[in-house]
Structure 1
Amino acid sequence: MKFIESARNWMRSRRTVNELSNLSNDALADIGLTRLDIPTVARRLAR
């Protein structure tokens, strides 16, 4: 059960990384992020 939850969290994290990575630097700045923030934000949101 823990494995399935971990896999789902990883998939959500990857989806978020992909979506945020498609934004321009200006769009990221508008929401208070830089490209370096993307992995951290994605992991937090996937929990």
Structure 2
Amino acid sequence: MFESLTRKYRSWKSYQSTVSELSRLTTRELDDLGIARGDIPFIAKRVSR
């Protein structure tokens, strides 16, 4: 059970970190990466698995 909670916490922390980092980018920088601002949560969820 503890391992499951630890894994979920790390996944959540990774998600939050990714969202935060991508949200700090300008729209132009996101465009250069081929990312729309609305795609940030989806991308963060895929990265945090």
In percent, how many aligned pairs have the same letter?
Answer: 38
TM-score, normalised by the number of residues in structure 2: 0.91
Aligned to 2:9: 7
Secondary structure of the corresponding residue to residue 33 of structure 1:
coil
Larger radius of gyration: 2
Q: Provide the alpha-carbon RMSD of the alignment.
A: 0.6
Shift of 1:3: 1.3
- 4+ runs of 1 displaced by more than 4 Å? none
Question: Structure 1: 5+ residue runs without aligned partners?
Answer: none
Aligned length: 47
Question: What residue ranges of structure 2 are gaps of 5+ in the alignment?
Answer: none
